[in-house]
């Protein structure tokens, strides 16, 4: 084999200058102007920037090598809205209506009857059992490929009951900027949500820049099977893993295998995840999105049936968790 070519010294010189421009000068110009533009210049924004600066400044006391820069985000109420109900419940309701013609018996059978009558209070009265039956009816009994298409089609046409916008437009712009900002500093960003993992994966790349393998969520049992000579994965009506509350640190450990250093949540379902992240040797950064803006979004916390925030709010100050006041800290809420 031939020996590798030598580049003349002039080319090496050019190379050095170009590398310097690319890696040192350009990024710092970009940063100074564009960091978190949808955040107001309040303490919340400063604390986030301070944390990222500290963990990414080589030689500094709080430096964390890129391998360990993992950030986890709850989804419902943290990255997008969760009122008047979790968007996945919107999918369940629409799906029941769509399947109803094939199930005439649902007209007289709860909880389907109440769904078809748009009587959400009565659905809720059926408790967890009714909800699980609705979820299994709409989420199981097909292959993973088929479910992916059902979800994708639903997101393409469904609209939020209050704003009339597609659900994927109801993501929080400041949080999307935060995801981008962290990734620009070599953080790997994950979703850790109580929602179904296969409900989220079809849209997380487009909505948040988060690929399927960085989405952790609740799962039902799937089973490998052959249809003729074609292998498929069948979704069975059986809960596998509930990625909520104490399940969140369990899911993080199972999927990621190391402790994140940044966590964002908005409810008591995120409490244990915040505890877990902030108890690590790196003293991870935790933030709670506090829904204080009844005008631009929704205002709720301690008594909400979706996204109840009580215990975590009580702990925030003494544990040094940042509470983001949506009304005061965010310049805008949704993308234009």
Binding site for a copy of itself (CB under 8 A): 1, 4-5, 7, 11, 14-15, 17-19, 21-22, 29, 32-33, 67, 70, 144, 188, 197-198, 201, 205, 211-213, 215, 219, 222-224, 230-231, 233, 246-247, 249-250, 253-258, 272, 275-276, 279
Question: Which of residues 131 and 250 has its CB atom nearest to a copy of itself in the complex?
Answer: 250
Question: Which of residues 72 and 93 has its CB atom nearest to a copy of itself in the complex?
Answer: 72
**In residues, how long is the chain?**
336
Question: Which of residues 272 and 297 has its CB atom nearest to a copy of itself in the complex?
Answer: 272
Are the C-beta atoms of residues 50 and 36 closer than 8 Å to each other?
no
DSSP string, 150-218: HHHHHHHH-B-TTT-SBGGG-B-HHHHHHHHHHHHTTPEEEEEEEEEHHHHHHHHHHHHS--GGGEEEE
Question: Which of residues 93 and 203 has its CB atom nearest to a copy of itself in the complex?
Answer: 203
Are the C-beta atoms of residues 252 and 191 closer than 8 Å to each other?
no
Rounded to the nearest whole angstrom, what is the least distance from the CB of residue 95 to a copy of itself in the complex? 21
Q: 133 exposed, middle or buried (CB, 10 Å; 0-12, 13-18, 19+)?
A: middle
Q: How far is CA 332 from the centre of its chain?
A: 19
Rounded to the nearest whole angstrom, what is the least distance from the CB of residue 249 to a copy of itself in the complex? 5
Question: Which of residues 147 and 300 has its CB atom nearest to a copy of itself in the complex?
Answer: 147
- Say which residue the tokens 């943290």 belong to: 78
Question: Which of residues 4 and 164 has its CB atom nearest to a copy of itself in the complex?
Answer: 4
Rounded to the nearest whole angstrom, what is the least distance from the CB of residue 240 to a copy of itself in the complex? 8
Q: How many CB atoms lie within 10 A of CB 231?
A: 10
Rounded to the nearest whole angstrom, what is the least distance from the CB of residue 71 to a copy of itself in the complex? 13
Question: Which of residues 1 and 24 has its CB atom nearest to a copy of itself in the complex?
Answer: 1
Question: Which of residues 215 and 322 has its CB atom nearest to a copy of itself in the complex?
Answer: 215
Rounded to the nearest whole angstrom, what is the least distance from the CB of residue 29 to a copy of itself in the complex? 6
Closest CA to 291 of 281, 283, 299: 299
**C-alpha to C-alpha distance for 200 and 217, rounded to whole angstroms:** 8
Rounded to the nearest whole angstrom, what is the least distance from the CB of residue 222 to a copy of itself in the complex? 5
What stretch of H or E contains 328?
A: helix 326-329
Are the C-beta atoms of residues 185 and 153 closer than 8 Å to each other?
no
Tokens of 232: 């498929």
Are the C-beta atoms of residues 73 and 175 closer than 8 Å to each other?
yes
Rounded to the nearest whole angstrom, what is the least distance from the CB of residue 288 to a copy of itself in the complex? 17
**C-alpha to C-alpha distance for 235 and 232, rounded to whole angstroms:** 10
**C-alpha to C-alpha distance for 129 and 307, rounded to whole angstroms:** 20
Rounded to the nearest whole angstrom, what is the least distance from the CB of residue 253 to a copy of itself in the complex? 5
């Amino acid at each position: 084999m031939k020996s590798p070519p030598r580049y003349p010294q002039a080319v090496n010189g050019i190379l050095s200058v170009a590398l310097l421009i690319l890696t040192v000068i350009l990024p710092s110009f970009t940063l100074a102007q564009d960091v978190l533009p949808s955040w107001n210049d309040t303490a919340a924004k400063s604390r986030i920037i301070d944390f990222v600066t500290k963990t990414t400044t080589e030689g500094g006391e709080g430096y964390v090598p890129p391998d360990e820069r993992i950030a986890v985000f709850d989804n419902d109420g943290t990255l997008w809205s969760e009122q008047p109900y979790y968007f996945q419940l919107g999918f369940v309701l629409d799906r029941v209506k769509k399947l109803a013609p094939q199930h005439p018996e649902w007209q007289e059978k709860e909880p389907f009857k109440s769904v078809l009558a748009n009587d959400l209070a009565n659905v809720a009265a059926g408790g967890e059992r009714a909800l699980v039956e609705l979820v299994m009816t709409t989420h199981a009994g097909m292959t993973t490929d088929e479910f992916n298409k059902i979800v994708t089609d639903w997101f393409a046409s469904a609209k939020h009951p209050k704003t009339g916008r597609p659900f994927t437009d109801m993501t929080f712009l400041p949080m999307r900027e935060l995801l981008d900002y962290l990734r620009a500093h070599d953080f790997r960003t994950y979703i850790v949500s109580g929602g179904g993992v296969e409900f989220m994966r079809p849209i997380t790349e487009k909505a948040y820049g988060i690929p399927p393998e960085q989405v952790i969520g609740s799962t039902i049992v799937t089973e490998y099977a052959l249809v003729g000579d074609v292998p498929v994965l069948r979704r069975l009506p059986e809960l596998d893993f509930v990625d909520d509350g104490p399940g969140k640190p369990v899911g993080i450990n199972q999927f990621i295998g190391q402790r994140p250093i940044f966590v964002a949540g908005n409810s008591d379902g995120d409490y244990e995840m915040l505890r877990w992240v902030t108890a690590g040797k790196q003293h991870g950064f935790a933030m709670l999105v506090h829904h204080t803006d009844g005008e631009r979004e929704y205002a709720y916390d301690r008594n909400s049936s979706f996204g109840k925030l009580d215990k975590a709010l009580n702990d925030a100050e003494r544990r040094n968790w940042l509470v983001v006041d949506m009304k005061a800290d965010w310049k805008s809420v949704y993308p234009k």
